[in-house]
Amino acid sequence: MRLYRVLRRLAIPAAVFVLVFTAATARVLIWPAKGMPGHVDAIVMMAGPGDRVPVALRLARQRRAAVLIVSQGEHGYGGPCPRATAGVRLICFSPDPGNTRGEAEFVGRLAKRQGWHSVVLVTSDEQDTRARVITRRCFSGSIYVETAPQPWYDLPYQVVYGWGALFKALFWVRGC
């Protein structure tokens, strides 16, 4: 009987934790807020999983910005720089370090030199919140995000990786 009471006392907090964690995961890593204005100063395609190149090129063809920046970070795209879109300046770079922080640092420096006030990040759902947090530390303007599709079977790995990387960005590596 005593064990039953202990388990019953733990069941409600455990159920609440699971519900809150599931809701947070859905909002932060699976279905983050999306949208952008008609025009920004630059489109920034961050490296990583998902089919990001078509999303970045679609935004460039729609003339949503005068500049398209493509990261060739070590964990993502890494291929040749895509073909330029007429009327849109193309900048391909390899971030140092080769991660989201290196990308944010590059964008922050370039934005300061160019006088930009807004960017759209092309990323994946699981990287959306983390990319905003890290880029915000290096760029004071408005940040919007457009996400690229990923295969559904990558979702479990991306959720685990996404929480770990977001935790690291929030509590461990805090500078620009």
Query: What percent of the chain has a predicted confidence (pLDDT) above 90?
Result: 49
36 in Cβ contact with 144 (< 8 Å): yes
143 in Cβ contact with 121 (< 8 Å): yes
- Residues with Cβ within 8 Å of residue 147, at least 6 apart in sequence: 32, 34, 50, 55, 122, 123, 124, 125, 128
pLDDT (0 to 100) of residue 67: 97
- Taking the model in full, what pTM does it have? 0.82
Record: fold of 32-172: Rossmann fold (3.40.50)
Residue range 132-163, pLDDT digits in tens? 999 999 999 999 999 998 888 988 898 898 88
Domain ranges of the chain: 32-172
Is residue 174 classed as helix, strand or coil in its secondary structure? coil
Rounded CA Rg of the chain = 19
Using alpha carbons, select from 3, 21, 36, 13 the residue that is nearest to residue 159. 21
pLDDT (0 to 100) of residue 44: 97
pLDDT (0 to 100) of residue 24: 63
pLDDT (0 to 100) of residue 27: 67
Q: Mean pLDDT across the chain, nearest whole number?
A: 87
Record the tokens describing residue 169, joined without a space. Answer: 């960005």
pLDDT (0 to 100) of residue 89: 96
- The CB-side HSE value for 108 (13 A sphere, CA atoms) comes to 19
pLDDT (0 to 100) of residue 173: 80
Q: How many whole angstroms separate alpha carbon 157 and alpha carbon 95?
A: 24
Instruction: Please report where in the chains the tokens 């090129």 appear, as a residue.
Output: 57
101 in Cβ contact with 48 (< 8 Å): no
Residue range 19-63, pLDDT digits in tens? 667 666 666 667 777 778 899 999 999 998 888 999 999 999 999
Give CA separation, 35 vs 39, 114, 122, in Å: 12, 24, 11
Instruction: Please report where in the chains the tokens 């977001």 appear, as a residue.
Output: 166
- The CB-side HSE value for 111 (13 A sphere, CA atoms) comes to 26
Residue range 76-121, pLDDT digits in tens? 455 678 988 899 999 999 998 888 999 999 999 999 999 999 999 9
For residue 97, whether the previous peptide bond is cis, meaning omega lies within 30 degrees of 0, is yes
CA–chain centroid gap for 49, Å, is 10
